[in-house]
């Protein structure tokens, strides 16, 4: 199976620590990690770590893009860069002992919709054995409609298309009818303007979106598990208690797990179990570090799937 992830607005995630951060004063901080990231990159990294071949197609800025690509290749990713003038954006997260983190996000390069021609060339030939993910935001200067038009062409050629992007409205999602969407609780509340106070609430919303033509609707509920509505029915995944280190990138890993299960031809219950094991495992690691196979296999045995 051919798997391609699209990252149209990547970022360097810089994490640092300060003993005593004071606004409006000079602060000395130690950099603890610098990670080349982006939602599509996170999906690719999780797949690669678990032995699933894929290609990461990424728009990168000429100023710091070579460093970005080098970092990903060091992680074993297959990268196809598309170059734009300027810098990849940086997100700086300042951590303090026993205090909330402070986050500063810089803007990055801008580009025009013409760059999508290069994206198409990188994706290459498509058939019904192709999965393409569009996750994260679009770059400055781009418009979402040409991106959706490109994805529609991929879908028309047989590709299964995953969309997980706030750049795409709920109306556009329903119109497009992706193969998979995976909003979390906050995101689905934002999309639908409905509160999700229970598994039943989430399942009701997921069922309504499935009825509108979205093939697989998965809503993650953090420590309360996840629901999936698809052609085989409505399912709930109950997750074990874990020590959460970071939830950043957990949703991207969940998508990777569902893709992994699909290319292995798992039945739907085991596909949901694997997806949630990926996402839960990601929560046990710092930053956007990918879920490790041994932990995934261990957690899979503890995840209970029930039909709603």
Per-residue model confidence as pLDDT tens digits over 22-73: 889 998 999 998 999 999 999 999 999 999 999 999 999 999 999 999 999 9
How many separate domains does the chain show?
2
With beta carbons less than 8 A apart as the criterion, state whether 277 and 240 touch: no
- Residue 230 falls inside a structural domain: yes
Place of tokens 């879908």: 155
- Residue 126 falls inside a structural domain: yes
DSSP state of 136: S
Phi and psi (nearest 5°) for 245? -100, -45
Whether 249 and 159 map to the same domain: the answer is no
**Range of the structural domain that residue 110 is part of:** 1-21+29-168
Helix (H) or strand (E) holding 216: strand 216-220
Label residues 89-111 b or e (16+ Cβ within 10 Å = b): bbebbbbeeeeeeeeeeeebbeb
Whether 187 and 298 map to the same domain: the answer is yes
Instruction: Kindly report, residue by residue over 129-165, the tens digit of the pLDDT.
Output: 999 999 999 999 999 999 999 999 999 999 999 999 9
Where on the phi/psi map is residue 111: left (φ > 0), alpha (ψ -120 to 50), or beta?
beta
Whether 37 and 83 map to the same domain: the answer is yes
Whether 139 and 67 map to the same domain: the answer is yes
Confidence band (pLDDT; 50, 70, 90) for 243?
A: confident
Whether 144 and 281 map to the same domain: the answer is no
Tell me which of 168, 189, 214 is where a domain ends. Answer: 168
Q: 307: Cβ–Cβ under 8 A, 6 or more apart, which residues?
A: 233, 234, 235, 236
- Best CA proximity match to 161, nearest among 144, 182, 140: 182
Whether 151 and 281 map to the same domain: the answer is no
| DSSP symbols for 22-71 | -TTS----EEEEEEEE-HHHHHHHHHHHTT---EEEEEEETTTHHHHHHH
Whether 154 and 270 map to the same domain: the answer is no
Whether 127 and 183 map to the same domain: the answer is no
Instruction: Kindly report, residue by residue over 171-228, the tens digit of the pLDDT.
Output: 999 999 999 999 999 999 999 999 999 999 999 999 999 999 999 999 999 889 999 9
Whether 200 and 154 map to the same domain: the answer is no
Question: CA-CA-CA-CA torsion for 71, 74, 80, 83, nearest 10 degrees?
Answer: 20
With beta carbons less than 8 A apart as the criterion, state whether 69 and 18 touch: no
- Residue 306 falls inside a structural domain: yes
- Residue 173 falls inside a structural domain: no
Whether 126 and 193 map to the same domain: the answer is no
Tell me which of 121, 145, 168 is where a domain ends. Answer: 168
The confidence score (pLDDT) of residue 221 equals 94
Whether 286 and 147 map to the same domain: the answer is no
- Best CA proximity match to 206, nearest among 179, 233, 227, 236: 227
DSSP state of 165: -
Label residues 225-249 b or e (16+ Cβ within 10 Å = b): bbbbbbeeebbbbebeeeeeeeebb
- Residue 183 falls inside a structural domain: yes
CA–CA distance, 191 with 250 (Å, rounded to integer): 20
pTM for this model (two decimals) = 0.94
Q: What percent of the chain has pLDDT over 70?
A: 100
Task: Provide the token pair at 31.
Answer: 């950099």
Tell me which of 137, 168, 199 is where a domain ends. Answer: 168
- Residue 208 falls inside a structural domain: yes
Whether 216 and 134 map to the same domain: the answer is no
Residue 56 is part of a domain; what is its CATH number?
3.40.1190.20
Q: Would the pLDDT of 117 be above 90? A: yes
The confidence score (pLDDT) of residue 74 equals 94
- Residue 174 falls inside a structural domain: no
Task: Provide the token pair at 216.
Answer: 């697989």
Q: Would the pLDDT of 287 be above 80? A: no
């Amino acid at each position: 199976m051919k798997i391609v992830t699209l990252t149209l607005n990547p970022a360097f995630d810089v994490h640092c620590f300060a003993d005593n951060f004071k606004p409006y004063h000079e602060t000395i901080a130690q950099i603890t990690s610098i990670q080349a990231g982006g939602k599509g990159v996170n999906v690719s990294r999780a797949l690669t770590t678990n032995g699933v071949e894929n290609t990461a197609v990424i728009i990168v800025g000429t100023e710091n893009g070579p460093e970005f690509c080098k970092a990903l290749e060091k992680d074993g990713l297959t990268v196809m860069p598309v170059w734009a003038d300027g810098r990849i954006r940086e997100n700086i997260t300042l951590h303090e002992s026993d205090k909330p983190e402070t986050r500063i996000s810089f803007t990055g390069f801008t580009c025009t919709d013409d760059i999508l021609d290069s994206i198409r060339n990188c994706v290459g030939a498509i058939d019904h054995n192709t999965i393409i993910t569009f996750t994260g935001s679009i770059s400055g200067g781009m418009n979402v409609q040409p991106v959706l038009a490109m994805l529609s062409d991929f879908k028309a050629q047989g590709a299964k298309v995953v969309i997980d992007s706030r750049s795409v409205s709920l109306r556009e999602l329903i119109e497009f009818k992706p193969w998979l969407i995976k909003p979390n609780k906050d995101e689905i509340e934002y999309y639908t303007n409905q509160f999700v106070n229970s598994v039943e609430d989430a399942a009701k919303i997921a069922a309504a979106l499935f009825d509108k033509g979205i093939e697989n609707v998965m809503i993650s509920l953090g420590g309360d598990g996840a629901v999936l509505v698809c052609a085989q029915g409505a399912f709930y995944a109950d997750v074990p208690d874990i020590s959460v280190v970071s939830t950043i990138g957990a949703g991207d890993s969940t998508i990777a797990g569902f893709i992994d299960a699909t290319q292995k031809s798992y039945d739907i219950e085991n596909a949901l179990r694997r997806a949630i094991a990926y996402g839960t495992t990601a929560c046990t690691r710092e930053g956007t570090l990918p879920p490790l196979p041994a932990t995934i296999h261990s957690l899979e045995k503890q995840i209970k799937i029930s039909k709603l």
